[in-house]
A = this chain, B = another copy of it.
């Protein structure tokens, strides 16, 4: 994580402003602002997209859809947006989406794959925050999501938008699959180990803990306060949809097949993911300097912060921020190296990363609109 000197860099922004005025998008319209649509704006990732985009210096949200809330004021449903957003929810079929520069899908799985093709055909770029374009193999998708994929041809084109690992591909993409929350934390945590060949990539364990907002705003008994508070449990041990996504991603990062055990847990927090990752140092090699390995690997990344030796991340240190904060520590008997990676599941694990993808796709500074400091305590 490159250092910022603590003052807001006016000069950088003014320079950028002058250079880019009117050019951020070919569509013009709102002066220099790109026009942005959000499909499925009433869930937690939708509202978080709004929180970030309404403060973004170079885009304008022009359409937010919600089948259930259409016609209602967005700020009426989310009073925290009062004074910041004058939009009404529109129908998901609203033709205005076709005039956007970029549309985010913050919808349940299975929606974007039906609606994205028409948008792409109209020249609209698409970032899908759901799982529709994350798995490259349609058969694998069908196995985990229970129905045939609606546009398998697009699976090949879609770019898996873990930006740090795919910046160039994102830059030219029309369609980006925004990574899942667990996959983001697990892949960023393990990448330096896999890239350096310093661990046995057939023997990886990811023990992950998520806040309850990760389950969305759907009505489920297990998401009730009186069920989830003051308690913790594992789920999906026999098979979770993020497992094939993570394996696919790690395989790409390692350049070879990986073996992974993945166990998610529901934790009494609103936001936050903590991934605790266990890897076995490559036998027969001297162990590398883990700390230096991670610091060098992420030295140029604005959104990945490697903590100093001996300090471990807590999830609140990234609450509301687009940061993945990481520590690495060998187990005391040396048989494992342990990585701890935290993100805010709604920011770097969803809406923030989606905006990071948008920034890259539109040629904006990658950090534009994403420099908020975490809310602590």
Contacts and interface: CB of A to CB of B under 8 A. Distances in A.
A152 to B, nearest CB: 24
Interface stretch (A53-61, A101-109, A116-124, A158-166): A53-61
Given A229-B229, A231-B316, 17 more contacts: A6-B86, A8-B57, A44-B377, A47-B376, A51-B376, A82-B307, A212-B224, A217-B224, A227-B377, A231-B314, A232-B314, A233-B313, A235-B312, A239-B332, A263-B338, A320-B320, A372-B372
A61 to B, nearest CB: 7
A79 interface: yes
Given A6-B85, A17-B14, A234 B332 contact: no
Q: Max chain B CB contacts within 10 Å: which of A78, A84, A269?
A: A84
Contact of A84 (B4, B51, B227, B318): B4
Contacts of A1: 82-83
15 contacts: A51-B373, A51-B375, A80-B374, A83-B302, A83-B305, A212-B229, A219-B221, A230-B271, A232-B267, A232-B269, A237-B312, A237-B331, A261-B333, A261-B336, A263-B276
Which secondary structure dominates where chain A touches chain B? loop
A80 B318 contact: yes
A308 B85 CA distance: 16
A372 B321 CA distance: 13
Contacts of A209: 209, 232, 265, 267
A184 interface: no
